[in-house]
Structure 1
Amino acid sequence: MAKRKSTESEPLPTKKPTKSNPETSLTICIPSTVISSKNAYNLQQITSIVYQIARAACTYKVAEIVVFDVPKDTTAKEEQKVTSSGKVVFGDDDEPKNNNKKEEDEKPEDGLLVASLLQFFITPPYLVKTMFSAHLNKNFKNILPKFKYAFKLPKITTLPFMQNNEVYKDFKEGMIIPRETPLIKKKNKKVKADHKITVSKYVNIGEKEPLKLEIKREIPIYSRVTVDLKNKTIVSPLQAYGVIGHKAAFGYHVRMVSEFNKIFTQSPIADGYSSTVFVNAGDYFGKGEVELSEHKESNGNVLMIISSMKELQVAFKNDTSNVFESIKDVKELFDCKLSIPNGCRIEDAVMIGLTKLVDV
């Protein structure tokens, strides 16, 4: 009996990434005060600071960036102490102050702005407006205008698809979009159907026309996907690029937390972080000496927290959960410290810390 010929054609060959995920997984944690008025004077400086952090993270293949959203009332109290003691405060936002409470309430929080800018820098330009639209996340209502200067900065050249056997020729990031709502006859007129399209086979890959995927099942709209351009199908980011962040993120995975304990308890790694490293930064007037052993080697899933010890102590004391019930001092949460020059700003400490950590 003759064998039945397969109706499915063989998939076309695609580029294979030559680089792979490093054995040591790196997570960095930065406070939202990295863009406070002490550190950044206006939106242009804020954008530049976050861009510097994003470039460093991509260069050293950081798997995750955690943004700890420091409560503003805590920050304000600390700044007031500095002012009353006669020390220098580095200025305020140059945007005109508005006493209209409604407009002030609509201003995005620092943590959300830092996290959004970090995500922006690893998002293809053609997906930005969709990914950061208010209909996907109500918190993004006032985010898009904050990308004014970010759009003008050059693309980061160390993203996963770059310098990795030209995989960008065969793979591209996309977002599933709804096809046009079908027309139906109603009272002798053609009108759009009442039901909303929730699944689709069409994907926005930045071309004039959306790409129709050759897949059996339709995918929920506004899903971020990695597309095999030759075979018009969806693949995992790991298969396409070889290097990914946690949760299969394109580049690094961005996580924002408002409670200090969640830096540790909401890790995307099932077993948690294997070691925690402290880097003292943002402490412009302190001596920067912390009684912790010096970092010697990196392996496993490393969490590097870059902040001033004073800020961490305040966050630790204000944490209302019972997670740290048996811990008396925030320093007990760290295995070691990574020494850098005193008085470094957060964004500079990120690059210095990653350089020393990776080179060890």
Structure 2
Amino acid sequence: MAKRKATESEPLPTKKPSKSVSETTVSICIPSTVISPKNAYNLQQITNIIYQIAKACTIYKVAEIVVFDVPELNNEQEDVKSTVVVGSKVKFVEDEPEKSLASPNKKSSVNGDDVSPSLLVASLLQFFITPPYLVKTMFSSHLNSKFKNILPKFTYAFKLPKITTLPFMQNNQVYKVLKEGMIIPRETPLMRKKNKKTKSDHKITVSKYVNIGEKEALKLEIKREIPIYSRVTVDLKNKTVVSPLQAYGVIGHKAAFGYHVRMASEFNKIFTQSPISDGYSSTIYVNCDDYFGNNNKIKELDNLSTFKEATGNVLMVLGNYKDLQAGFKADSSNVFQNVENVAQLFDSKLNIPDGCRIEDAILISLAKVIE
């Protein structure tokens, strides 16, 4: 026993973060229509929109971003008279409007049929808070079959400047002793079989080796190995793993580096799949993506009180009211049995200038809610 104590060394002191967790956390929910054809015409514009959202969320330390997959049926029923098609004539025929105009939300028109808009938005949001040396592993199709065609979608994202407000920035230079990494498997040991060396059939599931962007993987000095492909924060001095909270002083929900990203395929999942055990303390609606003031005529929104102060775990839902109402109506669960419209799910509304795009509304709203 005495011998074991003699061989064990005290952990080396490391830098302490200057940032700290706020008592109020903010989650935001954005619709997949943030990159619809009316907002973005190509992959480059899509990338710039999500980049702007990612920057705003890191500046104001947003804990979570929910991407709601808006039902396509709603997008096909948009008002034809408010749609503009450049380079072609549109005939407005009351009986046959669909023949005059193609569906405005076909995936092929912007990002291809291989990746859904919601997955593309969520992936780009995650990309901007992922170190470059971990991108190929994080978005590998071996880890998630949905990522089969996602890497080519990062063509323009790789060319954008690094976000300067990530947790390790302006934080007592903790980046000198801490680094984000991913646990990787060692090479499968060779087994001698009939005078031939072949790789063992045993698959490695845990490891002490971590990819931190150097030429060689770092071997951690830990007693118990960690499951491979786990995202970890590494203490370089002690060659061990530390929690993001201990390392940076600030974390997203689910102990995420930066913000936590999740997708909601159904409207109820925005609320029911919250990473907070007690759920959100309050919900705020922000009207945006409404360029012609159509939502100003909706009576349900008049009944909402104006936002005053953020406390606890706040969920801020941004988007066009019609898209949210379509998702609410299309929800097949029994969660909203006694709710007549989507406006009844919000505690208050936050007023911003009319006609704002979603990415602009996020920055304006966060500035009002947090400061």
State TM-score, norm by structure 1: 0.93
The number of residue pairs the alignment matches comes to 349
Q: Does structure 2 conserve the Cα–Cα contact (< 8 Å) formed by 1:29 and 1:306?
A: yes
- 1:143 to 2:139 alignment: no
1:276-316 deviations in whole A, cap 9, x for unaligned?
A: 00000001112443312111111100000001111111111
Query: Structure 2: how far apart are the matches of 1:225 and 1:246?
Result: 15
Displacement of 1:209 in angstroms is 0.3
Work out which of the residue numbers 344, 349, 355 in structure 2 matches 1:343.
355
SS in structure 1 of the partner of residue 33 of structure 2:
helix
Query: Structure 1: how far apart are the matches of 2:288 and 2:86?
Result: 16
5 Å matches for 1:164-243?
A: 164-243=171-250
The worse-fitting range, judged by mean Cα deviation, of 339-348 and 285-294 is 285-294
Displacement of 1:268 in angstroms is 0.4
Query: Structure 2: how far apart are the matches of 1:94 and 1:287?
Result: 23
Query: Structure 1: how far apart are the matches of 2:281 and 2:85?
Result: 38
- 1:28 to 2:48 alignment: no
Q: Does structure 1 conserve the Cα–Cα contact (< 8 Å) formed by 2:288 and 2:357?
A: yes
* CA distance 1:262–1:184, change in 2 (3 Å): same
Query: Structure 2: how far apart are the matches of 1:324 and 1:129?
Result: 40
Displacement of 1:4 in angstroms is 8.5
Partner of 2:317: 305
* CA distance 1:336–1:239, change in 2 (3 Å): same
Query: Structure 2: how far apart are the matches of 1:168 and 1:221?
Result: 23
Partner of 1:88: 84
- 1:272 to 2:279 alignment: yes
Partner of 2:37: 37
SS in structure 2 of the partner of residue 126 of structure 1:
helix
Query: Structure 1: how far apart are the matches of 2:327 and 2:86?
Result: 23
Tell me which amino acid in the other structure corresponds to 2:20: S
SS in structure 1 of the partner of residue 234 of structure 2:
strand
Partner of 1:131: 138
1:141-185 deviations in whole A, cap 9, x for unaligned?
A: 000000000000111110001101011111111001010111111
1:77-113 deviations in whole A, cap 9, x for unaligned?
A: 22xxx33x25425897999879xxxx965x1000000
Displacement of 1:6 in angstroms is 3.2
- 1:62 to 2:80 alignment: no
- 1:256 to 2:263 alignment: yes
- 1:281 to 2:292 alignment: no
Unaligned residue ranges in structure 1 (runs of 5+): none
Q: Does structure 2 conserve the Cα–Cα contact (< 8 Å) formed by 1:133 and 1:141?
A: yes
SS in structure 2 of the partner of residue 185 of structure 1:
strand
Partner of 2:165: 158
SS in structure 2 of the partner of residue 173 of structure 1:
strand
State TM-score, norm by structure 2: 0.90
Tell me which amino acid in the other structure corresponds to 2:17: P
